[in-house]
Structure 1
């Protein structure tokens, strides 16, 4: 990827300060911040059995608990993604990461004072609250994706957004691997104290490296919006805010295709979030593996794979189009979940999980490749709606999976995958509808929106 060098904002004004940073630094700092905050997804998932045993939780309550971080992590994407339209990405990033630090600090303090003997069902609301607060960093996805879109030209959106999303998404997989090991070495309280320290260090590292896109740098220096846009264009910026934060959300919400993208992302990314927290319990209950093996299976066969494969998924989406890439990816999700519903063979289940992770990762990249195409004048608002409401699947789906367990016992861990099978079939239909109507919006062999 060729990097645009920093340059004077106006060649006719030699005294004007140069733009700080480069596109590469912009996406690197956004990826770092997202990596730090996104780890909150697995706040409870890999060690859910510890809290279940201590507090005596039902399947439904376990599902709600492991999904708690994603309540804030999904819904806060909407206002914070749009807030980028007003102030750039750095301030929203730091607010979200700061809230995560408060949540993890509160959880660590609770465990220090109450775990293990004093932690009871009465503490469930507090544990849920601190988990939700710790999940605020997950919302940095919409902030970072908007920041990335403003740094790079339209023809590179799929690739750079996939790099940002793919590398940032690796943190839950790595934490799923590390947390059970830390649990064995440090105990539950020590593991969360180590996580608390990680959040602080990561936030400081982001704060010292982050750079806003050129337009926001000029505005912060007191340059008028029109002149700031002209200077930013001279630096290579192509996409710009379409208005204030609420105007961006309203503008995106008025476009029907925004809601199709929301539904697709609910399946791909919401499903990814849900299974990242749920799969450790599935492996332990259905196949009797220990907590460390369950974490390793989830991380390697699903979470890390789904994260890393977003990068080539974005490249493929740029070259072949987001819609056909999504259709094939959702087809893989349907096939994989069908196998998981009917099989009880360990090797088949692992293979199906790998296919499921690949399908969800590529589909997520394909969906976000389409956001700047279909909503070019309200990228921040669209990123917030698609990333926020779509990611809400990570909170909504685990309690439904827990109901299958409450109703069927251990077999419910497998039959619950029918939820993803149905979502996958619906998503194939929606992606096919976009593909059929794309020619009315975008000229052939072009990834840019048609001129009106």
Structure 2
């Protein structure tokens, strides 16, 4: 790219570092209801379904906004869009502290949800500072900002206990305003935008940016992201409530254990980007889905008592997952989710280098919708079944369908690329030719 000819590594690191920090702050605000929502639930006497809707509402705005924020970031640059988005969200977070009824909380949550739109702004901005060979690693590092969920799960419970949930929301609003100012002062316009201004080239229209969305491949990437990101957001918001309800833990302990899940689900995204650059995104996606299936199968199993008719009479035993094993499995699940998130976004700047904002916005929107739909589904399933592990049963089905679809799509792609293999149906791994008879060469 000619625009990158005069870009130094120092400029790249500064753009990446400031964007990652801003995204971390925004993500912390985006998941604030995972903690303050537990207090609000107790104050208003909400059902599990109502709590799920409250936790999920910010994710809805953050998801839908990614489409137009991605397009605006492509057109005007991330340096101006990031501060505007943060200031707007700060206002909503401050107004949240004044809410007193359930409808008011839902409206305020819609405004706070704009924090989630920061992701696509950062993707569009950071990707313009790196070439295709390094974008996977760079975007993986940027995605470490997901650790904002761990920041909230770990720190917000102590703020709520010390100051109350209203003041916690105000502290978050102040942090956003401060971050907006820092970002504006310590970043520069991306090299692509600078080159467009120098040459007088016009940015592509919104209609042109949306052109790739007709490609089914884009929607397949989006369904992968529905799990690796959407389920991550859903669990980050749901786990504090799960620990409190299923294991009768206090809010601080529940928050720290939820943070233990959120942290590896965030910081290892950089590793996922590096692995995608080195071994390919397909390998990373297979690894993510297969390990997730194992973890979710175990997590789905509810505490159960068995009575077996033995030789000498009934034999009774039980099976259940204690807190230590549950925490280990969720941390492992979060780890592979972080790899998968990076792998999905490795594809986008490679396949659609001129439509990162629009394509990335759609993929991010669908993924974010997972973070909206799943907490509500978790609450509904709890109310209907009365089984805490029903949320993991649902996610197991989602991953199973995604794994099968991905494998079928890859096999079809291989047959299109190598049509001579289409008729080879006798063996799953076709050799170059039959093995020679003994004694022959």
What TM-score does the superposition give when structure 1 sets the normalisation length? 0.83
| Structure 2 counterpart of 1:315 | 274
The answer to whether the 8 Å contact 1:60/1:399 transfers is: yes
Q: Which deviations, in whole Å up to 9, do the C-alpha atoms of 1:218-258 show, x marking residues without a partner? A: 434x63118xxxxxxxxxxxxxx7x2233212x22111110
Cα distance in 2, alignment partners of residues 346 and 124 from structure 1: 32
| Structure 2 counterpart of 1:205 | 182
Q: How far did residue 174 of structure 1 move?
A: 0.9
| Structure 2 counterpart of 1:69 | 58
| Structure 1 counterpart of 2:397 | 422
| Structure 2 counterpart of 1:245 | 206
Q: Which deviations, in whole Å up to 9, do the C-alpha atoms of 1:114-135 show, x marking residues without a partner? A: xxxxx4xxx1111111112112
Cα distance in 1, alignment partners of residues 10 and 199 from structure 2: 18
Residues paired across the two proteins, number? 397
1:148 corresponds, among 114, 117, 126, to 126
| Structure 2 counterpart of 1:223 | 199
Cα distance in 2, alignment partners of residues 322 and 34 from structure 1: 23
Determine whether 1:436 maps to 2:411: yes
Determine whether 1:282 maps to 2:242: yes
| Structure 2 counterpart of 1:326 | 285
SS of residue matched to 1:169: helix
Q: Which runs of 4+ in 1 moved over 6 A?
A: 440-443
The answer to whether the 8 Å contact 1:142/1:388 transfers is: no
Structure 1 residues 79 and 50 mapped into 2: Cα distance closer, same or farther (>3 Å)?
A: same
The answer to whether the 8 Å contact 2:300/2:389 transfers is: yes
The answer to whether the 8 Å contact 1:41/1:277 transfers is: no
2:104 corresponds, among 108, 111, 126, to 126
Cα distance in 1, alignment partners of residues 93 and 382 from structure 2: 29
5+ unaligned residues in a row in structure 2: which ranges?
302-319, 419-441
The answer to whether the 8 Å contact 2:231/2:370 transfers is: yes
Q: How far did residue 348 of structure 1 move?
A: 2.0
Cα distance in 2, alignment partners of residues 140 and 252 from structure 1: 22
2:263 corresponds, among 291, 304, 308, to 304
Cα distance in 1, alignment partners of residues 96 and 249 from structure 2: 27
**Relative to structure 2, which stretch is displaced further, 59-68 or 32-41?**
32-41
SS of residue matched to 2:164: helix
Q: What's the C-alpha RMSD, in Å, of the aligned pairs? A: 2.2
2:87 corresponds, among 78, 82, 98, to 98
| Structure 1 counterpart of 2:114 | 136
5+ unaligned residues in a row in structure 1: which ranges?
8-18, 111-118, 227-240, 444-452
Cα distance in 1, alignment partners of residues 199 and 14 from structure 2: 23
| Structure 2 counterpart of 1:234 | none
Structure 1 residues 157 and 303 mapped into 2: Cα distance closer, same or farther (>3 Å)?
A: same
1:162 corresponds, among 131, 140, 149, to 140
Q: Which deviations, in whole Å up to 9, do the C-alpha atoms of 1:310-344 show, x marking residues without a partner? A: 11111111111101210110111111111111143
The answer to whether the 8 Å contact 1:5/1:22 transfers is: no
The answer to whether the 8 Å contact 2:224/2:402 transfers is: yes
The answer to whether the 8 Å contact 1:6/1:22 transfers is: no
Cα distance in 1, alignment partners of residues 81 and 342 from structure 2: 23
Q: Which deviations, in whole Å up to 9, do the C-alpha atoms of 1:251-271 show, x marking residues without a partner? A: 221111100000000011001
2:74 corresponds, among 78, 82, 85, to 85
| Structure 2 counterpart of 1:186 | 163
1:254 corresponds, among 208, 214, 219, to 214
Q: How far did residue 438 of structure 1 move?
A: 5.7
Q: How far did residue 48 of structure 1 move?
A: 2.2
Q: Which deviations, in whole Å up to 9, do the C-alpha atoms of 1:405-427 show, x marking residues without a partner? A: 11133x2x212211110111122
2:231 corresponds, among 271, 276, 284, to 271
The answer to whether the 8 Å contact 2:52/2:379 transfers is: yes
SS of residue matched to 1:334: helix
Determine whether 1:389 maps to 2:389: no
